[in-house]
Amino acid sequence: GESVGLHLPTLSVQEGDNSIINCAYSNSASDYFIWYKQESGKGPQFIIDIRSNMDKRQGQRVTVLLNKTVKHLSLQIAATQPGDSAVYFCAEIDNAGNMLTFGGGTRLMVKP
């Protein structure tokens, strides 16, 4: 399948360490954000979302932080595993709530 992310920023971490992936968004009026994970040859897969009335949301091993002042999102992955290796995208919703705009993505590489 297609290999995405050949020219993307890359974060390389050791298995078991925590990972932090950052994203800047553009629409200050956006009230909903999502992190997606994309493995090679596959479509993006939903990981976690957050509404703009929250600063933090936790899932299983993942946490999303939202800083509306500087229009910044981060995705934290605890105890990173080899299966976490992928390209990660943040996405923001449009003002009508109809569609998502994606950021440029970060490739996460987990070293065993």
Partner 1 sequence: GAGVSQTPSNKVTEKGKYVELRCDPISGHTALYWYRQSLGQGPEFLIYFQGTGAADDSGLPNDRFFAVRPEGSVSTLKIQRTERGDSAVYLCASSPTGAYYGYTFGSGTRLTVV
Residue 60 as a binder of partner 1 (CB under 8 A): the answer is: no
Residue 70 near partner 1 by CB under 8 A:
no
Give the separation between CA 60 and CA 65, rounded to whole angstroms.
14
Closest to partner 1 by CB, 36 vs 110, is 36
Q: Binding of partner 1 at residue 29 (CB under 8 A)?
A: no
The whole-angstrom separation of Cα 4 and Cα 40 is 6
The residues that touch partner 1, with contacts defined as CB under 8 A, are 1-8, 32, 34, 36, 41-46, 49, 89, 91, 93-94, 96-105
